[in-house]
Structure 1
Amino acid sequence: MTTTSLPRPNRRAMPRLSSLLVVGGLFILAAVVVMPWDVAIASWVRELSIGGDLRRLIHLSETFAYGLTVILILLAIHAADLSARRALPRVVAVVFGAGLAANLVKCSLARFRPMAMPPDLDSWQTFVGWLPAVRAGGWDMKWNHDLQSFPSSHTAVGVGLATALRQLYPR
């Protein structure tokens, strides 16, 4: 009886924690710097009439982070790559952990979605407040998706999946 073991992780392919913290800090700094123009950019994009192939590409790229798509990708890995089966629980933990973390922040900090935003708000006023389900109207606010704009769960799941796949298949 032969057993297959997972290949050892390529240490050169793994970024150092300090590098990740620096990059994360730079992204947060960039977000704060562009915050004064956030509402203007959202309004401009809303009025933009994107059509054709670009619109289709945007919609197709979003499906990478849908729950069903993630499950199908994981099932495909399970079926096609026997050596990766032992790593799948870690991949699942990374992907769904990223989505869960984004949803916890989203339910803790209310922010208007660009499509639901009143027109007279500035960028900082789009943040409505902390713990909206507890403070502002009970559990009905928990299901008010107009106030669940920040952070993007699709982006979190997509980045989690891409990161996990990169670790699983470094080349």
Structure 2
Amino acid sequence: MRLIILLLAFQFASSFVVAQSAKLVAFSNLAESTWVSDGKQLGGHDGKTVKEFTLGLDGEIIKVKTFTTDPKTLEFGLRNEGIRIFNKETSQVEFYEFDKLGGVSKGKVIFDEKDIHYQYKYGDLILRDSWIYLSTDEYDYSVCSITTEGECEQIYHKGKFVRQKK
């Protein structure tokens, strides 16, 4: 009888872990990869953005490091570090970004099949950063303000991210 109870408890615990990790499955194509965007950057200057996606806490979070070209100095370096996590209290995937200037961005992640959208408040605006799936190695990327109906209102940046080959 004890063996049956132990087996049932193990099966329940395993199902719970798989269910938690399944909430982040939309990141599976990005995870454990480095993504590069060359050319015009947010702000209009030429440069590069590199995003490194790794798994953390046994797959329970996605960690992201963002390296960019500084628009003032044109030096390339670490700009942000962040996480994506399923919040069981809100039943939503959320993101948190911490920048080297002490700023924190946070918001929700919306999945539309293979597309990933980050929605967050920035001053008086609601912004959406979108990763639009093109192939396993390429995404269109855009940043726009959105209306109360969720439609893109003003586009601030468009670019493309490509998986860096190892």
- Superposed pair shares fold, TM > 0.5: no
Question: If each structure's strand is expressed as a fraction of its own residues, which one has the higher value?
Answer: 2
Q: RCO higher in 1 or 2 (8 Å CA, sep ≥ 6)?
A: 1
Select the structure of larger CA radius of gyration.
1
